[in-house]
Amino acid sequence: MNPDSSATTDFSRRDALIAGVASATLLAGAGAAEARSAGRRAAPPSEIATWTAGDLAARIRSRAVSCREVMTAHLDWIDRVNPALNAIVSRVERPALLAAADEADREIAAGRHRGWMHGLPHAVKDLAATRGIRTTMGSPIFADNVPKADEIFVERLRAAGAILIGKTNVPEFGLGSQSYNPVFGVTRNAYDPSRTAGGSSGGAAAALAARMVPVADGSDFAGSLRNPAGWNNIFGFRPSAGRVPHGPTNELFVQNIGYEGPMARTVGDLALLLSTMAGYDARTPLSLDGDPAVFAGPLDRDMKGVRIGWLGDLGGVPMAPGMLDLCLSGLRRLEAAGCVIEPVSLGIDRDAIWSAFVRLRQGFLAGGLGPLYADPAKRKLLKPEAVWEIENGLKLSAVDLYNASVVRSRVYEAYRQAFERYDFLALPSAQIFPFDAGLHWPKEVAGVAMDSYHRWMEIVAGPSLTGCPTLCVPAGFGPEGLPSGLQLVGPSRHDLAVLQLGRAYEQVAGDILGRKPALLG
């Protein structure tokens, strides 16, 4: 399962591509030192850039602050800190953005208000199509790709009034929880620019933590939303399968394991963004019905007697020293809100979970990326991990995928039965703390060798397979002062309940959330 062993992999070629990108100079030790220095030198951002998305929305609507002022504050701050983090890419030119902000102000003056995102700057993850804005997916194959249409959730962001300022950086095709690629280079952690921001929503998480954007969208197959949220001390929500319609896409009648969700610095902002992204769309027949406005309502709920099952390391998933203690300590804060926390086992072999997850992932990737692999010229531009996924996926039979789907159903049933005893389940969102930004991926965890480029994220596979709503909350800071997160999982389609638990957690974790990146001054 290790892409190192594939005859088609060529790390020297991949490294040469990355080295050729100007921003990739940050991979060098001197670059890391320069990035840390730049982060420390940055003066504090304008107060406007520190406001929550909800506060910004209210003040814009009441005309206490103009859309131009909001846009200027964020663009000025991006100019200061983005060079050190490389979180936002494919930026739209400032004059065009200020013109859009001015138009948003004129609309408000005329009594036309698009929605709660009216005039807010927003950067879309670079895996999602954005009309008129370059969408590369981190691949040199699509370095000049400018879509003619938005993805469904992007349409909704624009309709709610968001002004798209660019994209957030990702690993190539979103593969791996380390956001680097040969088009834009590496994205760095907001709390320590010498470390990775995680991935594949690494750019989104770093931009949020650094106050470059009020909220962000992410997507998640194998922790791509949860891991970077935890590593940048923010919230990330992987909603129930179908809650946020994907596409337009060819996968209309297959519920992919990966899909979009919101990221934010507060649970209230997270829920607001979900209220815009969520909701049925006829172009995605498996999307869920229901009024998404429910997520924009009050989130406070009495948590007395709520039972949470602690899954820990799932009976043997390798964990870095201090990770389990940190996450359990964070979870126990909910006892102050009246929650009851008990250890629980799912009763299903973790290797079976991982095997089914890998096979289904390879099947999806072989289908989606197969046409690129079939073209020899484009195949040479694929990262080794992509080639490894595709080649293994092409070896799978229909029976292999069926059997993996059967195991996936067993995993869901194990979670469902656990939810008969517990209201929620909890486990870490990562197995290690943020690692060196120059490292492709960790080769071992706690002395255990990793047999693939994503095995070190095994802890997220179960919730991914179930399609259950899963919220990553900041768990605190580990032995080296680096952040990580905690997954809170709820029953299928109980998204609001999970957000309510997140709100309760937010109220007892103020000291964790109040610890801001040094670059904020």
The catalytic residues are 125, 200, 224
Compute the distance between CA of residue 365 and CA of residue 44 in angstroms, rounded to an integer.
43
SS3 13: helix
Compute the distance between CA of residue 310 and CA of residue 331 in angstroms, rounded to an integer.
9
SS3 246: coil
Burial of 351: CB neighbours in 10 Å, binned 0-12, 13-18, 19+: exposed
CB atoms within 10 A of CB 518: 13
245: tokens are 């319609």
SS3 260: strand
CB 330 within 8 A of CB 341: no
CB 478 within 8 A of CB 471: no
Q: Which residues contact 385 (CB under 8 A, 6 or more apart)?
A: 3, 175, 176, 453
57: tokens are 């929305």
Compute the distance between CA of residue 436 and CA of residue 32 in angstroms, rounded to an integer.
10
- Radius of gyration for the chain, computed over Cα atoms and rounded to the nearest angstrom: 21
Between strands 424-428 and 340-343, the pairing is unpaired
Helix %, strand %, coil % for the chain, to 5? 45, 15, 40
274: tokens are 């979900």
Closest CA to 186 of 91, 263, 81, 85: 85
- Find how far residue 153's CA is from the centre of its chain: 15
Closest CA to 173 of 476, 387, 448: 387
Burial of 102: CB neighbours in 10 Å, binned 0-12, 13-18, 19+: middle
Q: Amino acid identity of 401?
A: L
